[in-house]
Amino acid sequence: MSHDEEISNRSENRPFEDILRQYVERRTVLKGGLATAVASMSGFSGLAFADDDDDDDDDEGVGRRRRSRLMNFEPVKVADGNGAVPVISEDYEYQVLIPWGDPIVPSGPAYSYPPSAEDQKYQIGIGHDGMTYFPMSRRGDDDDDDEDGRRRGSNRHGMLAINHEFGRNSTILDRGVARNGADNQPLSLEDVRASQHAHGVSVVEIKKIRGKWQTVESQRARRIHVNTPVTFSGPVAGNPLLQTPAGNAPLGTVNNCSNGHTPWGTYLTCEENFNGYFGANDPSWAPTPEQDRYGFSAGGFGYGWQTFDDRFDLSNASYMNEENRFGWVVEIDPMNPDQTPVKRTAMGRFKHEGVALAVGRGKRVVAYMGDDQRFDYIYKFVSAGNWKRMRRQGKSPLDEGTLYVARFDADGTGEWLELSMNNPALAFFGSDANILTYARLAADTVGATPMDRPEWTTVAPDGSVYCTLTNNSLRTVADAANPLAPNADGHIVRWKDSKRFTGTTFEWDIFILAKDTHSTEESFSDPDGLYADPDGRLFIQTDGGQKDGLNNQLVIADTKTKEIRRLFTGVTGDEITGVTMTPDRRTLFINTQHPGNGDPALTNFPAPTDGATRPRDCTFVIRRKNGGIIGS
């Protein structure tokens, strides 16, 4: 039930036969034992935690892997994780927090179904996805020891910023009346506003009180939704591409999928399938080539907002360019409710899945970003200078810098291709603003590698970057970085950039093919959410059909041994997504998104099972029963 199932890249940018041939030759060499592993061939030095020997380290298969010393919990069995309620390792426990529709502060409007548009403005949105915990009392700004921006501070009290990716009309608007048959079209502006207010971001203040996490009254809590004032910065700000004939002020963020956070303590939310909320009331409307490349269509994903809200009508000339205002990375200050969310245009416009930041050479910030569509690309942004100096000068490190797109070569190397007017191949775009607004078209032009739906990225402590490629049922020609055609179950690629994140070359390998886990208890498919912890664990969350009726899940991999253990399974029809921790890594937050796909016949979670109560997206707060590090 994904919004990501379309294909928008019809460019001729396709990998070549010889790349595939080289890849096959390389695999043959590896299997012949001439190289120890794909990892060593790609120059990985191994992670900086306690290592043992190299007796039977097996990067090619699953069956002979060493037992990890990082993970000692009892895994959830495949046979157990398939019902209407979540299942967690017997060594762990969870509680539910902030279900869709709860007030963002205890004194706010209580949950009732279906939500009114007015109440929903002050209630937790739907479609829980990426999120970050920002501990109270310490912030990263100008703290030399804290380039994560939130490493220190309270483990019991913080701000939680959380994305609300989407909720369908059939889930949000079901008021017991006929809604144009199966289409669930809105019947009024009130319907549209209820839907719009359920999308966006929540920022809530949470605290552990007598052993239980809860929201508290807060001056900082806020909702950011589709009608919240926003602003633009960076090279496209002020450009006619972001202005409409109607002159309406920029409002809102939508389809907020994954996330990131900055060293200076702010939250980054990513606009993914923004195209689907636009439609055309005039049947004669046809997309421009640019609109087509971004997937705009007359019907969109069926939300029908354009029927009552002209802003989302692609055929309304007064709102020309409104669609260019979506598809960006948006910066939110979780501590300042008066801050206007800022769309950082230097990071490009595409279907941003998420963003993972690292601090590289010269203290430049480097951001890794996937564009989740079949045959779309992986990007990175490198700030122009030292992030602290830029901020002291009153500049945002996310406003000035260089955007690149990745090309993966068959020999295990790759190149970051610059997307700016400095690249002669892009001269015909005429301006950096055009290149950034139509980054997908620029990436097509320079020959980026079309990937199998890039989802989350994460930066591991050894400097390798991991990216989930969730699946691609339409791939017919394999290449080195996307070696399965079709790719039903996805894989995870990793790379290490030259010059400590800032260089334009990299070495890469495939960390794991999901299908290689399918004959084992460690089985997973469709990797999506991803987090590399400081010890060498990789948290992998899934979104798609798992083997043997298993629900979507959180598994943890040891990046050294590649052993996998299953920590948690969700409920029927959901996906598991969103991952953040307290600074001491003894409290984990994850989400169930679209439990039961909204159908009370499948699950009623988090309510007790009664066959009738509407299931609700919610957060799980997870701890190890013995108080240990999460994942241990």
Instruction: Please report, as ranges, the residues that interact with ligand FEO according to CB under 6 A.
Output: 4, 165, 257, 272, 353, 372, 455
User: Could you say which of 543, 558, 563, 617 contacts Ca ion (CB under 5 A)?
Assistant: 543
Report the amino acid identity of residue 385.
G
Give me the residue whose beta carbon is nearest to Ca ion: 543
CB of 2 to ligand FEO, least distance (A): 7
Nearer to ligand FEO, 4 or 418 (CB): 4
Nearer to ligand FEO, 128 or 560 (CB): 128
Nearer to ligand FEO, 4 or 148 (CB): 4
Task: Using alpha carbons only, give the angle 265, 266, 270 rounded to the nearest 5 degrees.
Answer: 145
Site for Ca ion in 423-462 (CB under 5 A): 455
Nearer to ligand FEO, 420 or 591 (CB): 591
Site for Ca ion in 583-602 (CB under 5 A): none
CB of 204 to ligand FEO, least distance (A): 21
Burial status of residue 427 (CB atoms within 10 A of its CB: 0-12, 13-18, 19 or more)? exposed
Whether residue 506 contacts residue 532, with contact meaning beta carbons closer than 8 Å, is answered with: no
399 touches Ca ion by CB under 5 A:
no
Nearer to ligand FEO, 4 or 309 (CB): 4
CB of 541 to Ca ion, least distance (A): 8
Nearer to ligand FEO, 272 or 322 (CB): 272
Nearer to ligand FEO, 246 or 474 (CB): 474
Residues 410, 25: Cα–Cα separation, whole Å: 10
Count Cα neighbours of 167 within 13 Å in the Cβ-side half-sphere: 40
The alpha helices in 393-464, defined as continuous H runs, are: 432-437, 439-446
Task: Using alpha carbons only, give the angle 40, 41, 43 rounded to the nearest 5 degrees.
Answer: 65
Residue 241 touches which of Ca ion, ligand FEO, none (Cβ within 5-8 Å per kind): none
User: Could you say which of 102, 479, 528, 563 contacts Ca ion (CB under 5 A)?
Assistant: 528
356: CB partners within 8 A, 6+ apart: 260, 367, 368, 369, 456, 457, 458, 459, 465
Nearer to ligand FEO, 44 or 277 (CB): 277
Nearer to ligand FEO, 127 or 397 (CB): 127
CB of 255 to Ca ion, least distance (A): 9
Binding span for Ca ion by CB under 5 A among 115-123, 143-151, 543-551, 552-560: 543-551
Collapsing DSSP to helix, strand or coil, 160 comes out as strand
Nearer to ligand FEO, 158 or 529 (CB): 529
CB of 2 to Ca ion, least distance (A): 6
CB of 354 to ligand FEO, least distance (A): 8
CB of 604 to Ca ion, least distance (A): 21
CB of 271 to Ca ion, least distance (A): 13
Ramachandran region of residue 383, left (φ > 0), alpha (ψ -120 to 50) or beta? beta
Whether residue 607 contacts residue 591, with contact meaning beta carbons closer than 8 Å, is answered with: no
617 touches Ca ion by CB under 5 A:
no
Nearer to ligand FEO, 372 or 444 (CB): 372
CB of 493 to ligand FEO, least distance (A): 16
Residues 279, 300: Cα–Cα separation, whole Å: 5
136: CB partners within 8 A, 6+ apart: 153, 154, 157, 158, 159
The alpha helices in 405-529, defined as continuous H runs, are: 432-437, 439-446
Nearer to ligand FEO, 171 or 434 (CB): 171
The DSSP bridge partners found for residue 469 are 454, 491
Each residue 483-522 as x (binds Ca ion by CB under 5 A) or -, in order, gives: ----------------------------------------
Residue 418 touches which of Ca ion, ligand FEO, none (Cβ within 5-8 Å per kind): none
Whether residue 271 contacts residue 326, with contact meaning beta carbons closer than 8 Å, is answered with: yes
CB of 528 to Ca ion, least distance (A): 4
What does DSSP assign to residue 182? G
What's the token pair of residue 572?
A: 């029927």
Query: What is the longest distance spanned by two Cα atoms in the chain?
Result: 68
Whether residue 9 contacts residue 450, with contact meaning beta carbons closer than 8 Å, is answered with: yes
Residue 146 touches which of ligand FEO, Ca ion, none (Cβ within 5-8 Å per kind): none
Residue 272 touches which of Ca ion, ligand FEO, none (Cβ within 5-8 Å per kind): ligand FEO
Task: Using alpha carbons only, give the angle 408, 413, 419 rounded to the nearest 5 degrees.
Answer: 50
CB of 200 to ligand FEO, least distance (A): 14
H or E stretch at 172 = helix 169-172
Whether residue 66 contacts residue 56, with contact meaning beta carbons closer than 8 Å, is answered with: yes
Whether residue 174 contacts residue 183, with contact meaning beta carbons closer than 8 Å, is answered with: no
What does DSSP assign to residue 229? B
Nearer to Ca ion, 417 or 538 (CB): 538
Radius of gyration of the chain (CA): 23
Provide long-range contacts, Cβ within 8 A and 24+ apart, for 605-608: 605/84, 605/85, 605/86, 605/571, 606/96, 606/99
Residues 117, 195: Cα–Cα separation, whole Å: 8
Residues 20, 428: Cα–Cα separation, whole Å: 31
What's the token pair of residue 36?
A: 């120890």
H or E stretch at 190 = helix 189-198
Nearer to Ca ion, 170 or 504 (CB): 170
Q: What are phi and psi of 40, to 5 degrees?
A: -70, -35
CB of 244 to ligand FEO, least distance (A): 27
Nearer to Ca ion, 409 or 455 (CB): 455
CB of 272 to Ca ion, least distance (A): 7
Binding span for Ca ion by CB under 5 A among 45-53, 429-437, 504-512, 540-548: 540-548
Ramachandran region of residue 309, left (φ > 0), alpha (ψ -120 to 50) or beta? beta
CB of 271 to ligand FEO, least distance (A): 10
Report the amino acid identity of residue 367.
A
CB of 4 to ligand FEO, least distance (A): 5
Give the interface with Ca ion as residue ranges (CB under 5 A).
455, 528, 543
